[in-house]
Amino acid sequence: MGKPTGFLEFPRELPLAVAPAERISNWQEFHEHADETMLRKQGARCMDCGVPFCHTGALIAGMAAGCPINNLIPEWNDLVYRGLWREAIDRLHKTNNFPEFTGRVCPAPCEGSCVLGLNEPAVTIKTIECAIVDKAFEEGWVVPEPPAKRTGKKVAVVGSGPAGLACAAQLNKAGHLVTVFERADRIGGLLMYGIPNMKLDKRTVQRRVDLLAAEGVTFVTNTEVGKNYPAEKLKSDFNAVVLCGGATRPNDFFTKTEGRNLKGIHFAMEFLHGNTKSLLDSNHADGTYLSAKGKDVIVIGGGDTGTDCVGTSLRHGCKSLMQLEIVPMPPLQRAPDNPWPQWPKTYKLDYGQEEAQALWGEDPRKYAVQTTKFLGDDAGNLKAIEMVQVEWVKDNGRSAPRNIAGSEKVVPAQLVLLALGFSGPENQLIDQLGVEKDPRSNAKAEHGKFNTNVAGVFAAGDMRRGQSLVVWAINEGRGAARECDRWLMGETNLP
């Protein structure tokens, strides 16, 4: 590396963010850009590792360790340190179609596997990635690059989330005529409607969509294949099909819980989707969204989706907010059974919890808590929930929660948001195409090959692997494009 002693000389620094109490008054992205001097110092912290783990993308203990798209992280860290920004974006785009997305919303498993992170704070990989691509757009280096020639082959990509967009981008580079079908009114899938604007500005998403369109990708919105566009027409009109519809069936562990049908209990994605659509359509003037304003809000579940519900509710002006997690509070440091280079399962404040703490003086999360009952008024409206503390005990060798007698508590709630993950894809199109499913109801296709049991039909992203990260979706979209191209042409030059 250019600065062999950089990791000894410079501490980890992150760019400034708008103060939590201030940023909840609007929907703008709140992370500021670091200046070039600071970024070059942060790039200098990247060590001359004998074996870098940051770009391995291995699955260890069921979680990503290192970058799933194998970003050439040490290379572009060094280029940033040297001030070679144009070369840095070329290296970044070599493995990642959309660094402006991952640089904003990826949880950065690369940093969890940084060698420096063994005994010092990890290199600020995610910050540097975002800075490279943002500078590239500012300088005009990112321009449409349509293929020099076309193959005449037509490919349909169903779903315009990160897997579908990555797949479309790669197939278009190979010269195929790509049409992307999206059932919503805007392109982007969860990038557009699943992630709030303050975390990923929708102008950033649209900018990349416009680039793909200028390169020759055709986008069709308000079209749900299998419902208002027949599956058979898909097979007859196109030479190949790639299914990238995501895992959109929400989990609901409260179907037998008393009061589950009360008005005021909603799935997280219903809340988040409606909020962003109304924001984009009318700056919330149309009122066609679930509002948390003036309400006692309970978010059940953690992860990124739970955090996004917290941040969105605060911006609506909720009266109070509590986030419930059935699992115990994670440790402050890595546990012995969670060693490097695994993803560190440690306690941290994400942006939503940081905002709630700034507003009310404490983390809104309550750990090891189970919801036992939803309570309503005479009109069928939610007014409170009953919850109980749990302890985790071994049951036939597996840990299971057990209610602690006497710990029951009733708290007011007029809005409950269920952020409990997803159980798999909606199967209507899969069934119509005759695609075989795996035991988890996903489209059955081997990672690395991505072909289903139906000739010419491939599957990628959450629809194939189940709920996962944006960076895994990009990995799968790129891989499916490679194998689809191989199937169409007999060989492929796609990575």
According to the model, what pLDDT value does residue 3 have?
87
Predicted structure pTM score: 0.96
Q: What is the pLDDT along the chain (495 residues), one digit of tens a residue?
A: 678 899 999 999 999 899 999 999 999 999 888 999 999 999 999 998 888 999 998 889 888 899 999 999 999 999 999 999 999 999 999 999 999 999 999 999 999 999 999 999 999 999 999 999 999 999 999 999 999 999 999 999 999 999 999 999 999 999 999 999 999 999 999 999 999 999 999 999 999 999 999 999 999 999 999 999 999 999 999 999 999 999 999 999 999 999 999 999 999 999 999 999 999 999 999 999 999 999 999 999 999 999 999 999 999 999 999 999 999 999 999 999 999 999 999 999 999 999 999 999 999 999 999 999 999 999 999 999 999 999 999 888 889 999 999 999 999 999 999 999 999 999 899 999 999 999 999 999 999 999 999 999 999 999 999 999 999 999 999 999 999 999 999 999 999
Neighbours of 98 (CB within 10 A): 25
Residues of the chain with pLDDT > 70, as a percent, come to 100
In angstroms, rounded to a whole number, what is the distance separating the alpha carbons of residues 376 and 463? 36
The answer to whether the bond into 341 is cis (omega within 30° of 0) is yes
The Cα–Cα gap between 230 and 233 comes to 5
Confidence at residue 61, expressed as pLDDT on a 0 to 100 scale? 87
- CATH 1.10.1060.10 domain position(s) in the chain: 6-139
Domain with CATH 3.50.50.60 in the chain: 154-248+423-489, 252-420
pLDDT on residue 1:
66
**pLDDT given at position 458:** 98
Name the token pair of 145: 């690059």
Cβ neighbours of residue 277 under 8 Å, at least 6 residues apart? 185, 186, 193, 288, 289
Instruction: Detail the DSSP E strand segments found in 325-441.
Output: 365-366, 369-376, 382-395, 398-403, 409-412, 415-418, 422-424
Contact 179, 213 (CB under 8 A): no
Q: Is 15 exposed, middle or buried (0-12, 13-18, 19+ CB in 10 A)?
A: middle
Nearest of 287, 292, 351, 387 to residue 107 by alpha carbon = 351
Q: 6-139 adopts what CATH topology? A: Fumarate Reductase Iron-sulfur Protein; Chain B, domain 2 (1.10.1060)
- Are 481 and 171 in contact by the 8 Å Cβ rule? The answer is yes
Question: DSSP class of residue 116?
Answer: G
What is the amino acid identity at position 200?
Answer: L
Average pLDDT, the chain: 96
Q: Give the separation between CA 207 and CA 485, rounded to whole angstroms.
A: 26
Asked if 83 contacts 40 with a C-beta cutoff of 8 angstroms, the reply is yes
Pick the CATH number of 154-248+423-489 from 3.40.50.300, 3.40.50.2300, 3.50.50.60, 3.40.710.10: 3.50.50.60
Distance CA 290, CA 316 (A): 10
Pick 252-420's CATH classification: 1.10.10.10, 1.20.1530.20, 3.40.50.460, 3.50.50.60.
Answer: 3.50.50.60
- The 10s digit of each residue's pLDDT in 64-87 is 899 999 999 999 999 999 999 999
Left (φ > 0), alpha (ψ -120 to 50) or beta: where does 363 sit? Answer: beta
Q: Which residue do the tokens 């905002």 mark?
A: 355
